[in-house]
Amino acid sequence: MGMTLSMPDTLWPLFAANPHLTRELPSIAASAIMIYGKVYKGIDVGVMPILHTFNGKLEFNSHVHALVFARDLRSPSQSGESIFFNNSIMRTWKRLVIALLREALNAGCLVSTLTDRELEHLLRREECRWWSVHIQFFNGKEHFLQYAGRYARRPPISERRIQDVSNGLVSFWYKDKRLKRPVTVVCTVTEFIDRWAQHIPKRYRHAVRHCGIFAPRRWNQVAEATFLLSGQRRRPNPRRLRWNVSVQRLSGHDPLIDSKGWQMRFVKHLPPVAA
């Protein structure tokens, strides 16, 4: 099962200006899903949340895609339970996000152009609104990873969408989901770089998190039972590729083949020659 947990666009600037809060969104999304499983179903849930911060226009649009594994968490044929399922997770997700922002506001570490009074008014207004939580059923985990996993590795915009770069301006297109047609965006080079740069994660930041039964410390304890319940066979860990195989895949040339076509092999280390 795949879930997309989003928020009103009025909160996007707050998370864009506060990256330390944005990094907490995957954990919050996982907590909202795991709370539902524990409270209403009495089961443990495995969640792999993936943070997504951009839309077609390269605007900051913070939301979370999540791969969820749990037996009988929700039956797709039960419409009444489906509505309760969506609303329960949505309310928990909304409450936790608002609590995160309000805690940062009270601690004086929420960066914003709004005053504290305006921020509190904004939070009270948004916690009364309906937030979107979209549920999808995929044909296996590979289907989800092809859909959501690309956000973890691909750049915010592909080169084919850039139409022109000239006179200090950049024009690119995106697909407008409401108009259902491509729309062109024109901005300066500086603005384009700023839009792009805000979506680049910091070094050593994980794009995919593992929570619940997928947590590293827990997985070894429940892995066999998880594969048994899902009716799947656990695959052995792949063998580590040699360094020359990786280089050959990238360059098309085996670095261990010399200029005469002979296979090179290690003989011994030579000490450095003194100058």
Give this prediction's pTM.
0.74
Taking residues 146-168, report their average pLDDT. Answer: 82
Which pLDDT value is given to residue 76? 47
Summary mean pLDDT of the chain: 84
Residue 189, pLDDT score = 93
Q: Of 36-45, 122-131, 150-159, which has the strongest mean pLDDT? A: 122-131
Distances (CA, A) of 29 to 106, 205, 211: 22, 17, 10
79 burial via Cβ count (<10 Å: 0-12, 13-18, 19+): exposed
Confidence bin at 198 (pLDDT 50/70/90): confident
Q: Do 144 and 2 meet the contact criterion of CB atoms below 8 Å apart?
A: yes
Range of lowest pLDDT (64-73, 164-173, 184-193): 64-73
pLDDT tens-digit map of 53-96: 888 888 899 999 888 876 555 554 454 455 667 788 899 999 99
Distant-in-sequence, close-in-space partners of 104: CB < 8 Å, separation ≥ 6: 18, 21, 110
Measure the CA–CA gap between 123 and 104, rounded to whole angstroms: 12
Task: Give pLDDT, residue 40.
Answer: 78
What pLDDT band is residue 134 in, cutting at 50, 70 and 90?
confident
In sign, the C-alpha dihedral spanning 111, 116, 117, 119 is positive
Which pLDDT tens digit goes with each residue over 201-250?
Answer: 777 777 788 888 888 888 777 777 777 776 777 778 788 888 888 888 88
The more confidently predicted of residues 80 and 104 is: 104
Question: For 25-34, 72-81, 147-156, which range has the lowest pLDDT when averaged over its residues?
Answer: 72-81
pLDDT over 90 at 171, yes or no: yes
What percentage of the chain exceeds 90 in pLDDT?
30
